Amino acid sequence: MKRILFTAWLSAAALLIAAGAIAQTPPDYPIRPIRIIVPQAAGSGPDIMARSIGQRLTEAWGQQVIVDNRPGANGIIGMEAAAKSKPDGYTLLLAVPSALTMNPYVYKQLPYDTFRDFAPISQAATNTFGLVVNPALPAKSVRELVVLGKARPGELNYGSFGIGNQTHLAGELFAAATTLKLTHVPYKGQTPAVTDLISGQVTLMFNPLPGTAQHVVSGKLRLLATCGEKRDSVFTEVPTMREAGYPTVIITGWSGLLAPAGVPREVLNRLQSEVARHLLSPTMKTTLAQQGAEPVASTPDEFTAFIKSEAQKWSKVIKQAGLEFTQ
């Protein structure tokens, strides 16, 4: 009799545990609006990607997706907000390399940990970096820019999205490769940096093409070179930095969707599936190509492995270039 009662107790306990596990995985997700935190200003490349994904999720699930821009401190403000959010699937994060894979090696202390505080969902896209200048600058090629810079040492300045940002590191790599003396001007995100480049407050910048392609086409900016292994599929007439004679200045941007650590795997998988369907659609492929980007739509495991490899790569670059900071 005791054995029978004990067996019954174990069965009941197992059912309760199973019921609890099921309750923790919302079967009807989502049932209320979703927020995507973007650690960049409105109008930036990551913001555009987040709004595109948000529109697709809204249409697919009938729940509003709100983009919450939290620019500043090289993405740290937005990253911290996302890391401290409730892991219920209703707060997401659209992040870029600087915040995820560079900040940990640039800053001595951060209010978040890339691998402890976030659950990767999917890499969204890769994008081409380009060297863009204000069209008033009397340089129509990288060679002419270098000649001008050496004739006016210290007078040329370049903008970035913040200290330690990928756009900053790109400028430092270019300065090292060309032995130019450039003045760094950090901004709080992409939008103010590009705005000042267009107005002539800064003379050049290494920028992801999705955030500047329209300005290049309109003539507000001049694209001197792209920074990929091959020429961009849209700006085919523009040479690469390798072709310009600087093979070490190879830079690729990317963006990805994450959630606070602890979100149920079923929710992550559902998000990944819908986001991948959007990114790989013919319309989105064409839109991204026009912006100098390509869709990726990786799985959570694939994106996790990619982030780790990027962190290893950039940690070496930062150390070898002496770009470690104490802020």
157-160 and 252-260 as β-strands: parallel, antiparallel, unpaired? unpaired
Of 105, 100, 99, the residue nearest 115 (C-alpha): 100
Of 307, 257, 272, the residue nearest 38 (C-alpha): 257
Cα gap 145→150, rounded to integer Å: 9
pLDDT at position 30, please? Answer: 96
Largest CA distance in the chain: 96
pLDDT at position 325, please? Answer: 61
Cα gap 73→89, rounded to integer Å: 25
What domains can you pick out in the chain, each with its CATH number? Answer: 34-126+252-320 (3.40.190.150), 128-226 (3.40.190.10)
Cα gap 300→265, rounded to integer Å: 9
Single-letter amino acid code for the residue at 173: L
Task: Read off the pLDDT of residues 170-192 as tens digits, 9 standing for 90 and up.
Answer: 998 899 899 999 999 998 878 89
pTM over 0.85: no
pLDDT at position 27, please? Answer: 64
pLDDT in tens, the chain (327 residues): 444 444 444 444 444 444 444 434 456 899 999 999 999 888 888 898 999 999 999 999 999 999 999 988 888 999 999 999 999 999 999 999 989 999 999 888 899 999 999 999 999 999 889 999 999 999 999 999 999 999 998 899 999 988 888 898 899 889 989 999 999 999 887 889 999 999 999 999 999 888 888 999 999 999 999 998 889 888 999 999 999 999 989 888 899 999 999 999 999 999 999 999 999 999 999 888 877 788 999 999 999 999 999 898 888 878 876 766 645
252-260 and 183-186 as β-strands: parallel, antiparallel, unpaired? unpaired
pLDDT at position 23, please? Answer: 39
Cα gap 284→240, rounded to integer Å: 25
pLDDT at position 172, please? Answer: 86
